[in-house]
Amino acid sequence: MLAAASFTAVAFAPTAAPATLSRAAVRTESPLMLEESVNRRDLFARAGAAVFGLSAAQSASAKAGQFSKIDIFSLDQRGGTAISSPFQVGGPKSGKDSTYGYAKTDGPILATGYETDVVREKAAFAVSSTIVESQGKNIDSKTWWLVRDNLRGQAYTMKANMLAINKQASNKAECAKAYAKFWKEIDSLDLACKKKELALAQKEYADVLAALKAYQALI
């Protein structure tokens, strides 16, 4: 009976792991872990080499001014630090032959003559004119804020369109004079609306319409 009990105790006792093997040793010496570490280093090394190679290729094939140049400690031609202008020498320039960083033009300038085409400006001017011509009902109803808001909202675009049209007109002097007259009347109308004086606003609005009609006749 004693022998049987001893056998049973030995049979069901848990088997202890060898004392010589630790968890750290198992992770470090595993061939799979070593292979994974090497592959990861390989991957990063190849990616770095590819980025470096692409950067070198771009630098070698770039035209003058195609990439920005940032120098912090050098001086430009005017004696200032070069960091104030990240463009290459030779650009950007303004005017007819501007190259915006390239040393010289490469082929025909595609935008040549764009200033002479004022079709879009005339169409936009017509829209603004319609808005100006539709303010009578707002003045008559004494909706002063709406009149002023509509006129001010169109002022920037309308002025730009008129100036572009004037530049290409054959009668530049007359257009410039009519332009100045129109905007003077607009200012007077705006002041009348600010004062909220109906009779004055109606009179100034009539002057605005007359000045607008005179300008339209010139273009």
Q: pLDDT band at 46, cuts 50/70/90?
A: confident
pTM of the model: 0.52
The pLDDT value recorded for residue 26 is 47
Sign of torsion over alpha carbons 77, 78, 82, 84: negative
Which CATH architecture best describes the domain 116-218? Up-down Bundle (1.20)
Region 16-29: mean pLDDT is: 50
Enumerate residues 6+ apart whose C-beta is below 8 A from 218: 169, 171, 174, 175, 178
Of the candidates 148, 145, 147, 174, the residue with the CA atom closest to the CA atom of residue 162:
174
C-alpha 158/C-alpha 130 separation (Å) is 11
The pLDDT value recorded for residue 45 is 73
Give me the percent of the chain exceeding a pLDDT of 90.
Answer: 45
Residue ranges covered by each domain of the chain: 66-107, 116-218
Show the CA angle centred on residue 146, arms to residues 145 and 151, nearest 5°: 105
